[in-house]
Structure 1
Amino acid sequence: MENSIKLMLFLSFCFVSNQALLANASVPALYVFGDSHLDPGNNMHLNTPAKPNRWPYAIDFHNIRGRFTNGRNMADFIASYLDLPFPPAYLNLSDSERSQTTTGISYASASCGILNTTGAGECLTLAKQVGCFTSTVKNDLPLAIKDQEKLQDHLANSLYLVFIGNNDYHDAMSHNVSNKFSPDKYADILLDEVTKHIKTLYDLGARKFVVSGISSCQPHNYTKDCKSRYFADKLPQRLQELRCTLSGSLFTVYDVVNVYKKITDNPQKYGFTNIQDPCYPEGGSLCKDRKKYLRFDQYSHQTEAAYEIASKDCFYGQACSPYSILELAKAPIISHH
């Protein structure tokens, strides 16, 4: 009931009529912007200590190094629900492969963040990720989709995951920048950057966005340890304002709390027996059953089992609001820019 009310309020905010959702969603591509939670291998090509280049990372994914978990990440699962291949890492692709890839790409890069100053060693900041996507749109996709109108349809009907900002709240990764401002002001700085880059994606043709609220704290919990909650609580309003200025744009928010509270309140329901300890503590031994652990390592990366639950809840359930990803995928495009 609460989600239905939120959806109605969101849609009425800009006085946009909500036409009937299409019966069958057809999403041509999934484009991914993010950090280590979504990085499928970009950092393997960069001079950085933030690389999952050792056992047991990817132990349940044919030992193909690149992901910061034992198997698939959220973007992989969302792509599979959309009947798309896993979005490949941008830096894994040769020039010729980039010009033939029309089902989506991941630009996500571990340790990086929203701010250009965030990161450990080399990484793709959000600005660089958007720059890579700009090259995809202007240089690569036109070689595969030669008709300009079809290219615009491709971009407008694709989905764009923007799951970044965790590292901007990490003291080491942000180089303590987060402590130079009040939490309220810092959230505004980050949101200004995010909205600027979303506008760039929109100008390139993007219309449907899934944006992460990043904070794992309860809503309106503004304690010293929950500074990121300012960002999460302000994000929906920022996206509402964007929707009113960017004709035809659609946004939904992934709030980490929504899904993980369900798991921690009733871990047995989801098959977990340990929600506190990492399955693989650095230098320790690997847990015997990865499906029973919520956390994979001590760096806040989850197990494949946890990412699957989160992805499913965002895609079909209520972890993403006001739309599930399925509803977003089905929503008709009102206009092209």
Structure 2
Amino acid sequence: MASFSWHCLALELCFAIIGVGLCRVCYARFYPASFVFGDSLVDAGNNNFLISLSKANYLPNGIDFGMPSGRYTNGRTIPDIIGQELGGLPGFSPPYLDPSTKGAAVLHGVNYASGGGGILNFTGKVFGGRLSLDAQLDNLANTQQDLITYAGMDATRDIFHDSIFSITMGANDFINNYLFPIKEFSLRPLLTPGQFTDAMISKYRLQLTRLHEMGARKIIVVNVGPIGCIPYLRELYSPPADECAAQPNQLAQNFNVLLRGLVSELSENLPQAKFVYADVYRIVADIIQNYRSYGFEVADSACCFMLGKYGGLIPCGLTSKVCPDRSKYVFWDPYHPSDATNQIIAKRLLDGGPEDIYPINIRQLASL
């Protein structure tokens, strides 16, 4: 870690003193940036700057992070942990909407994720302000132009080719769209389940292709987890004891089959692309099924809770109760994993085999 820190400092001095063009080799070898897209699972604080009902910039969120930063968990998100493991100094990828995320700050990567955002622009309408994946890609285009102004066209191209781009999208399209109980905020009255997942895949194909056209080459596509197991949907569907809600999980699995095919299709057809399919559904389902072997004591209920059998009826807020030991809970709140769960997921994505992440893991992708 000390050696890596030194190289990162040298890189920043290199940019400042002798210009970007002479530092491209240094950048590629020692500092692959991380550009993060997604929903509340990976939001690092973008929704703090939106007029939105979906926010996490208040306690007890961030209770183990040191402050409520806008992350929807007690500690770090999966990209945070992966960045730390890979040596992504001087810190986490900053939220795009933070006014300080400009100039040299974007050389380390940017987080574009937004709580409530989805693949489909309609998703999350109930929250008001949120950034869909289309909007996040628009913001990446702005970052790209800023980089060209700051560092030049050639250096920007190299940065995009060398950096890691991760997309965690799709869960909201089910939870806060198709499965949402109020029809005004759901496309369910208009589409069958198959039509809805087909619409998601068609839209996602255009978005991932656009990301490649902008210069991204190392692209991690995270599938939809077992959403029927989150405390919120356990409350909504009331499955038998020790079981998850079957319909939401089936929807996620059907989508994931199509998504894996899409990732393979794009890998074969887009030049120089290295797409990686992250099977978070498999990892989280394994954690929930075998939670005690991972050191957890509770796998069905929220640590931050107020109301409901599983603490899943009301989002985590200032008046919520918090479990005394967050490391014993798989879920932090009605929707999101705890820091302890995120650590396990991140480790398996970093170093796991092809059953968890295919065809290579993130550490291997970063070293290419």
Residue identity (%): 30
1:330 corresponds in structure 2 to 367
SS in 1 for 2:97: helix
1:202 aligned to 204, 212, 215, which one? 212
1:285 aligned to 321, 331, 334, which one? 321
What TM-score does the superposition give when structure 2 sets the normalisation length? 0.77
Kept in 1, the 8 Å contact 2:226–2:285? The answer is no
1:142 corresponds in structure 2 to 148
Kept in 2, the 8 Å contact 1:60–1:71? The answer is yes
1:106 corresponds in structure 2 to 111
CA-atom RMSD in angstroms: 2.3
1:231 corresponds in structure 2 to 255
Looking at structure 2, the residues matched to 206 and 233 of structure 1 have their Cα atoms a distance apart, in angstroms, of 24
Structure 2 unaligned blocks of 5 or more: 1-27, 229-244, 307-318
Q: Aligned runs of 1:114-129 on 2, under 5 Å?
A: 114-119=119-124, 120-129=127-136
Q: Aligned runs of 1:41-120 on 2, under 5 Å?
A: 41-84=45-88, 85-94=91-100, 97-98=102-103, 100-119=105-124, 120=127
CA displacement at 1:196 relative to structure 2: 0.7
1:307 corresponds in structure 2 to 342
Structure 1 unaligned blocks of 5 or more: 1-23, 332-337
Structure with the higher helix share, 1 or 2: 2
Looking at structure 2, the residues matched to 142 and 178 of structure 1 have their Cα atoms a distance apart, in angstroms, of 43
Looking at structure 1, the residues matched to 185 and 201 of structure 2 have their Cα atoms a distance apart, in angstroms, of 19
1:251 corresponds in structure 2 to 275
Match for 1:329: what amino acid?
A
1:155 corresponds in structure 2 to 160
Match for 1:116: what amino acid?
N
Kept in 2, the 8 Å contact 1:33–1:162? The answer is yes
Superimposed CA distance per residue, residues 52-107 of structure 1 (whole angstroms, 9 cap, x where no aligned partner):
13210001111133100001001101111221131111011337x34542010000
Match for 1:163: what amino acid?
T
Kept in 2, the 8 Å contact 1:215–1:231? The answer is no
Kept in 2, the 8 Å contact 1:26–1:157? The answer is no
Match for 1:103: what amino acid?
H
Superimposed CA distance per residue, residues 301-335 of structure 1 (whole angstroms, 9 cap, x where no aligned partner):
0111101110111111132222211122223xxxx
1:168 corresponds in structure 2 to 173
Looking at structure 1, the residues matched to 186 and 269 of structure 2 have their Cα atoms a distance apart, in angstroms, of 34
2:331 aligned to 287, 290, 295, which one? 295
Are the structure 2 counterparts of residues 98 and 42 from structure 1 closer, same or farther at C-alpha, using a change threshold of 3 Å?
A: farther
Looking at structure 2, the residues matched to 224 and 64 of structure 1 have their Cα atoms a distance apart, in angstroms, of 33
Are the structure 2 counterparts of residues 25 and 74 from structure 1 closer, same or farther at C-alpha, using a change threshold of 3 Å?
A: farther
